[in-house]
Chains A and B, each alone.
Chain A
Amino acid sequence: MNKEYLGEFEELVLTMVGILQEEAYGNAIVGEIDQRVGRKVNLSAVHVTLYRLEDKGYVKSYMGGSTNARGGRRKRIFQVTNAGLAMLRARKEQQVQLWKLIPQLKMSAL
């Protein structure tokens, strides 16, 4: 599999990890996706994606301090790595490049 490949959902999750910074863990990401793009996603799907991103080296994780909420269980906090950041940047530039290639049509007024 091409390591450079990043799926749509993976990109979304990676972006959210970037946005949430110190608060990037499973539930928060699910909430953030719901809030920002209005998409209901499954917690397990997010977890799986995070682990996959970790395998690819785009994020790394550590256990946060324990809190009183969540039955005392610690959170696994994810952080975007340099490779992940580079990947996100590359995707953005790629998209801008491609956008520029579209003839600038005017929205037809109806």
Chain B
Amino acid sequence: MNENKSSRVSKFSLRFLQWFCPPGLYEGIEGDLLEQFEIDVRTFGINKAKRKFTWGVINFFRPDIILRNRFSYTLINTIMIGNYFKVASRNILKRKLYSFINAFGLSIGIAFCILIFLFIMDEKSFDQFHTNKNQIYRLEEKSYDTWLQNPKDPYSRSAYLPKGVAQAVKDELPEVIFATRYNPSHNGIVRYGDKIFTEKEIAYVDADFFNMFSFRLLAGNPNKIFKGKLEAAITPAIAKKYFGDESPLGKALRVDVEGDKEFIVTGIIEAAPSNSSLKYGILLPQENSPGYERNLNQWGNFNTPAFVQVLPNTDLKNFKLNLDKVIQKHMGDKLEKWRKNATVPIPADVRMMELEFTQLPDMHLKKEISWDKVSDPQYSWILGGIALLILLIACINYISLALTTSAARKTEVGIRKVAGAQKQQLVWQFSIESIVLSFISMIVGIGLVFLFLPSFNQFTDKAIAITFSNIAPVLLTSTALTILIGIMAGSYPALFLSGFRPALVLKGAFTSKVQAGFTKPLVVIQFALSAFLIMSSVIMYRQMKFVTTKDLGYNKAQILVVPTQSGYNIEANKTVERFRTRFQSEPSVVSLAGTGLSFNQGYSRYGYKIKGEQKAAYVYAVDPFYLSTLGVNMVQGRNFDERIAADSDAVVVNEALVRDMKWTDPLNEYLNYREDSTGLGAKVIGVVKDYHFLSLEKNIDPMFLSMNKKDVGYLGTMLIKLSAGNLPEKIEKVRAIWKELSPDKPFEYTFLDEDVATQYKSYQRWMSIMGLATCFAILISCLGLFGLSGINALNRTKEIGIRKVMGAELSNIFLLLNKQFIWLAMIAFAIATPLSWYVMNKWLKDFQFKITIGWELFALSMAAGLAVALLTVSYHALKAAWINPAQTLKNE
């Protein structure tokens, strides 16, 4: 009957009451509530009574009840906390080596996490500083790709649009309030007085640029600037470079980008911060961009990114439809023509081209659309994963090291318990100890962050700085992290140590075992992680070594790459000729060749249809000295010859092209890459052995060389092969001759081998990051092994003592103690090997030319890992083996 009644009330309410109510008060309160409930059932009926009961319970959920009798509890704790800190600091100082290992491991973990946190923050902060960021969109084109024919996604996307788009969109769509075009990174020669430099960050924009983006105009009138067509806005750095201390406003700066023009400086604009997707040194009005007139009404040339600012609360679906209308109006006929002339049939429901858009802050992580600083969000994930792994390893260490030292603290625990300490208090004590240690680690970790930041920036190609604006979140995160680590790492030892039975401990059961069975799997995990990192970095290192030392089919040593600086016209070819004639009397220069593009400067590719089949080939504009300067071997036929006039339209092809065309006698063939309807096309005069004109990520695809200026282009670059010997001296000689022949142009050079190496820069960077992570992972997991071997030696003290008394050799004991670690390491390798094999195969997929992952790589890594592990565990093993048995056995 009674049970019935109490069971009629909500179980949940009762449980809730029990949860928050101090045990001393619980029964009285519950009874009163139930009594009232019985009365209520009679007066109001069961349902209302239930509700009243629940409401009654909730009414009791108040601080006066919840915190009652807890106060006296905390009072004792606060008294003890002082003692905990004192004991903690004494313990840390007493075991300096252990404390150091622990703090060191944890601080590296924390430092890594903070660095990664900074990295992710920086990625997220890109373009966030613009006041109008939510209204600014980058326009993009999505067009049907008739070339690559990717069945999964047949579209290609790009931010490069016809020049007319920005103005048309602004004029025709009411929701667009501002629009600017933006052509960054033009190279030009800039002159003021006697100062002549090449500038690489010349950007062409429209007047609205200054209204849309939040780059501050430090001098000049934002409403008037760029109303004139020959104005310039420059950053303070550029101002200082050309004008020194004088004010640049109103002064004329000569800028030569395909034609010399004079611009009046009317504004000084704050330089873009490092987390900006837009960058510039000198801003010039769009109207001056190369080929402006030619491109403006030509809606077929896609060469200019555009940004628009729309009214707040613009309906984006509508905006998209409006953009479609603009495109239809200006390009409708053209698109129709493209569709008809396409080399492959195009499905009727496919639109040849349409406009899309991305909000300004999102463009940084939109990796599908290439942009100067665009980045793959995957990097953040990988880095975050590495940081967490290292942190996890460090925490595991803390646990196993804390357990190692537990024997020494048994007596302390026993006495504390006898003196009346409750288990909960001991848990508190040990938790506080680990939190103290992790706070020390945090301070060291933040120090390490400052130490590592420059090299981290180098690895990740960032310019992160710790400033007042980001120090607060960093400190906040690291504090939260520290407390988390402290609790995570401290909880198990705390529970373990507080569980000692005082009677046993104080009776002197000194040889009892530290039951730390669970640390073994932890060590296996640690070691597997390190092994994974070791193997991955070895493979990465091998591959990078392979790509940098592989014979590319040409000789890249001792070659200077010098831009002709004469613009894209016949002048460039003449410059090459002038230099060649002059260099004939210069012994330092072996030969000089002209080419349209050197390696890693981009490529041009011709698409053409032969016998109804779509083909594509890379093309390089060259001169007759190209092949000899690079030392490329001919397989058949001959090189170009200046004296044969017909050679100016002939081609030299590579073996891949011969295979692609299925030619049996290539020297009697013609390559009709211009799709001449009347002629046969260009005569093939020679075949070169395949060489890697692109990076090793790519296959050697069909390629041809030509001297045809009209169709293939001009010689924008000189390749200067220097004779062996003192390099700087020879470069000086070339510079002197440059001064003589092109006195008004800046002399710039790179080394061909370095250009080729920079193709793999991002891989190199990842290799460095992996290498660094591997070092730390090995270091930290060695610390973990060290801890575990300590536990092991401790547990077997008595056994070793007896064995020694019975006459065991040092080596026997050493072996006995190390056997299990070798097992653990083997298991770890067994886990790590397939994992790294899988991951590394994925990584190597990026390369068409790669090393084969053989078993010897794994064997090597394993041997290295085992050696390190053995070295680590030897300390405890030797210590245990050397100890005098009398010392260990006297305890019994």
**B-contacting residues of A (Cβ < 8 Å)?**
25-27, 30, 42-45, 47-48, 51-52, 63, 68-76
Contacts and interface: CB of A to CB of B under 8 A. Distances in A.
Contacts of A43: 32-33, 36, 56, 59
A70 B29 CA distance: 11
* Among A51, A63, A71: residue with most chain B CB under 10 A: A71
Contact of B59 (A30, A44, A51, A73): A44
A73 B27 contact: yes
Q: Which 8 A-B pairs have the closest CB atoms?
A: A73-B31, A76-B28, A71-B6, A26-B32, A44-B59, A70-B31, A48-B64, A70-B35
Nearest to A73: B31
Given A44-B59, A44-B65, A48-B65, A25 B5 contact: no
Nearest to A71: B6
B262 interface: no
A52 B36 CA distance: 22
A75 B31 contact: yes
Contacts of A42: 59
A104 B39 CA distance: 46
Contacts of A76: 25, 27-28, 31
A51 B6 CA distance: 25
B28 A71 contact: no
A73 B33 CA distance: 10
Contact of B28 (A30, A44, A68, A74): A74
A69 B27 contact: no
B292 interface: no
A68 B64 contact: no
Contacts of B27: 63, 73-74, 76
B34 interface: yes
B46 to A, nearest CB: 15
Contacts of B638: none
* Among A43, A47, A69: residue with most chain B CB under 10 A: A47
B32 A47 contact: yes
B34 A70 contact: yes
A27 B59 CA distance: 15
B732 interface: no
* Among A25, A27, A42: residue with most chain B CB under 10 A: A27
B501 interface: no
Contacts of A73: 27-28, 30-31, 34
Nearest to B56: A43
A3 B5 CA distance: 42
A68 B65 CA distance: 26
B740 interface: no
A76 B28 CA distance: 5
A25 B59 contact: no
B25 A51 contact: yes
Interface residues of B, number: 23
B62 A48 contact: yes
A22 to B, nearest CB: 15
A4 B34 CA distance: 35
A52 B38 CA distance: 27
Contacts of A45: 59
A110 to B, nearest CB: 41
Nearest to A44: B59
Contacts of B30: 71, 73
Nearest to B32: A26
10 contacts: A25-B28, A27-B35, A47-B65, A48-B62, A48-B64, A63-B27, A70-B35, A70-B38, A71-B3, A76-B31
Nearest to A74: B27
Contact of B2 (A47, A51, A63, A68): A68
B59 A71 contact: no
A18 B60 CA distance: 24
B32 A69 contact: no
B68 interface: yes
Contacts of A68: 2
* Among A45, A70, A74, A75: residue with most chain B CB under 10 A: A70
B38 A27 contact: no
Nearest to B3: A71
Contacts of A74: 27-28, 31
Given A26-B29, A44-B56, A51-B25, A71 B34 contact: yes
A44 B60 contact: yes
B5 A71 contact: yes
A17 B128 CA distance: 66
* Among B2, B30, B31, B65: residue with most chain A CB under 10 A: B31
Contacts of B31: 70-71, 73-76
A47 B64 CA distance: 9
B64 A51 contact: yes
A110 B189 CA distance: 109
A75 B29 CA distance: 8
A25 B25 CA distance: 12
Contact of A44 (B5, B6, B38, B62): B62
A17 B35 CA distance: 19
A43 B36 CA distance: 9
Given A25-B32, A51-B68, A71-B5, 14 more contacts: A27-B36, A44-B65, A47-B25, A47-B29, A47-B32, A47-B60, A47-B65, A52-B64, A70-B35, A70-B38, A71-B34, A73-B34, A75-B28, A76-B27
B347 to A, nearest CB: 73
B32 to A, nearest CB: 4
B43 to A, nearest CB: 13
Contacts of B33: 43
A73 to B, nearest CB: 3
Interface string B1-15: 011011000000000
Contacts of B35: 27, 69-70
B28 A63 contact: yes
A31 B113 CA distance: 62
A50 to B, nearest CB: 9
A99 to B, nearest CB: 33
Nearest to A78: B28
Contacts of A47: 25, 28-29, 32, 60, 65
A26 B59 CA distance: 14
Contacts of B29: 26, 47
A48 B61 CA distance: 11
A51 B71 CA distance: 14
Nearest to A61: B28
Contacts of B68: 51
A47 B34 CA distance: 15
Nearest to B1: A68
Contacts of A48: 62, 64-65
* Among A44, A63, A72, A76: residue with most chain B CB under 10 A: A44
A73 B36 CA distance: 13
Contacts of A75: 28, 31-32
A83 to B, nearest CB: 20
Contacts of B62: 44, 48
Nearest to A76: B28
B871 to A, nearest CB: 64
A52 B71 CA distance: 13
A25 B2 CA distance: 20
A75 B25 CA distance: 10
B419 to A, nearest CB: 29
B289 to A, nearest CB: 77
Interface in B372-418: none
A14 B80 CA distance: 37
A46 to B, nearest CB: 9
Contacts of A52: 64
Nearest to A68: B2
Nearest to A50: B28
Interface in B32-79: 32-36, 38, 56, 59-60, 62, 64-65, 68
Nearest to B7: A71
B66 to A, nearest CB: 11
Interface string B76-87: 000000000000
A68 B502 CA distance: 44
A72 B2 contact: yes
A47 B33 CA distance: 11
